[in-house]
Structures are given as structure tokens and as C-alpha cells.
Structure 1
Amino acid sequence: MTKRDFFRIIIKLFGLYSMILTLFNFIPSNISNFVMYKEELWFIFIVLGSMFLTVALFLILLFKTDFIIDKLGLDKGYDENIIILGDFKNEQIFKFALILIAGFLIVDNFPRVLFEMINIFKTKSSSNSIYGYEVDYFNFIVGIVNIIIGLFLIANYKILSAYLDKK
């Protein structure tokens, strides 16, 4: 693997990770803030502007990796042009990263979804919920979506890694 390929993989993985964080952490947390600040025009502009910037950053990192490597000169100044990582190829590194990101999505959201399910069941079966805690349906749905996306990434990691490995 050349230095350029290594930096291409790192930049694309960082772009994918930033997209996942934007979609599943930033957007849901700001959607719940729209309820409080729905009449504040400045808040809407700030949230939409920051979402636009993060999506633009994701698209640049994913589709303009060679431009970034050229402008920053990341592959210049090394003694050798080749990195030896054993038998790993680009697509195998992408597969590993996709499985790792999907695992984080599932492991991070499963306890929250389970807790919300227990709380919903307790609320429906009796007149009260867990002491001091209300059912948060929005976070429950966001957690379920995150788990489904994680399962989707695990189920389709070969197809996605082949797509990410395109030059």
C-alpha cells in the first residue's frame, strides 16, 4: 500500500465517521431543540448553517480525498513510498472500519433503547413510570434507528467497502 492510499483511506474513514456523528447525534439533538426555540429565527439559521457545513465537510472528505492529499502534501517527504501492513488491502481496512462503526452504533444505543422499552412497558402496564424519569419517545426512536443503521452496515459491509474503495 502506498502512502497516498493510506491517507486516502484515513480521510475517507474520518469523513464517514463525521457523517455518522452528524446524522445520528447532531441532527436528533437539534431537532429536539427546535421545540424550545421554534420562534427564534437565529437558532434556525445557526442549526441549518452548521448542518450544511458538516454535510459539506463530509462530501469533501469522501469525494475530494486526492485534492486534500495534494493540497496538504500528505504523501510528500517520506523516505519510502510503501507502507507494509501485512496482508491488508484497502477494501479489508474499509470492511474492518465499517464493522467497527456499526458495532459502536449498536453497542452505544442498545442500552438506551432497552431502558426506554422497559420504561414504556412499565408505564403502559401501570399508572406510573420509573421514579423521576419520563418516557422519551424521541430518543427511543433515534436509538432504534441507530441500531437499524448499525445492523444495515454490518449486513452490507462488503458492498459499502467496495464503494468506498473506488478511486
Structure 2
Amino acid sequence: MSIKTFWIILIKILGLILILQAVSIIPEWISSIYFIYENEDNKDLLILIFCILLVLFIFYLISRFFLFKANWIIDKLKLDKGFENNTIELNSSQNKIISIAIIVIGGYMLIQNVPILLQQFFMFFQDKTLFKDYPKSGWIIFYFCKAVIGYLLMTNSFRIAKFIEKES
């Protein structure tokens, strides 16, 4: 494997981790918007929405560059220059390594969210209220969705890796 291929793999993995973190932040932003909306502070609401949209756009650009324009990043930052050897001894293809990284990220998401989801379910059943009346029902849905996304990442890692490679 060449040094450039190594950097491409590493940058794409970082892009996937960035997307994972962005997915975790979005519900917090939505709850902040709702809190300010309930307080009827329209000026702060507009500023917050503008800032959130700006940050989401920046997240989108960075993750798009990391996943689909890794060669451009390597060329601009000259990451493949200055090495004595031009190859690294790995017997796996780029697609397999990215698939393994997607499996690890999906497993991390699943392992991270299943205990929290079970804790929220336990608290819900102790409260003995209807799901729509339970104050943390949105968080139960959020943790469930993250656990499902983690599972889907683990089971469809090769398809996602092929998509990333095809778009590059």
C-alpha cells in the first residue's frame, strides 16, 4: 500500500467519525431551538437558527471533502511527501480497510447507545405514563435511531465503502 493510499484511508475514516459526531449534536441543537422558541425570544431564535445552519453547512463541506476529495486534501497539505519509503506493507485493499472502519464505528455507536436506550426504557416503564406524555420520549427515539444506524453500519459496511469509493 502506498503512503497516499494510507492517508486516503485515514482521512475517510476521520470523515466518517465527523459525520457520527454531527449526528449526535443535531438533537441537542433542536432542543435548544425549541427552548428558545418556547420563551418567545424571536431575535435569539433567528440568530441561533442561522448559527446552527452555518455550522451544519461547515460540517457538510468538511465531511464531503474528507469522504470524497481525500486526494485533494493530501495534495494541498503534502501529506505524502517526506517519507523514506513510498509503501507500507499491508495486504488489504482500501475498500476492506474502510469497511472495517465502518464496522468499528457502527459497533461503537451500537455499544454506546444500547445501554442508554435500555436505561431510558427502564425509566419510562417505572414512570408508568403514556409514551406521548413521557418527557424524554424524544430521547428514547433518538437513542433507538442511533442504535439502529450503528447496526445498519455494521451490516452494510461493504456497500457504504463501495459508495464512498465510487464517489471519490
TM-score by length of 2: 0.87
The gaps in structure 1 that reach 5 residues or longer are 126-133
Cα RMSD (Å): 1.5
Question: What does 1:1-167 correspond to in 2, within 5 Å?
Answer: 1-23=1-23, 25-38=24-37, 39=42, 40=44, 41-85=46-90, 87-124=91-128, 135-166=135-166, 167=168
The gaps in structure 2 that reach 5 residues or longer are none
Structure 1 or 2: more helix by fraction: 2
Aligned residues: 157
Contact 1:106 1:151 in 2 (8 A): yes
After the TM superposition, which segments of 4 or more aligned residues of structure 1 sit over 6 Å from their partners? none
Letter in 1 for 2:94: N
Letter in 2 for 1:45: F
CA positional deviation for 1:165: 3.4
CA positional deviation for 1:64: 1.1
C-alpha distance in 2, partners of 1:141/1:159? Answer: 26
Contact 1:102 1:151 in 2 (8 A): yes
Partner of 1:128: none
Contact 1:94 1:165 in 2 (8 A): no
C-alpha distance in 2, partners of 1:91/1:52? Answer: 28
TM-score by length of 1: 0.88
Letter in 1 for 2:119: F
Q: Percent of pairs identical after alignment?
A: 30
Cα deviation 1:52-85 (Å, max 9, x = unaligned): 1111111111111111111111111111110112
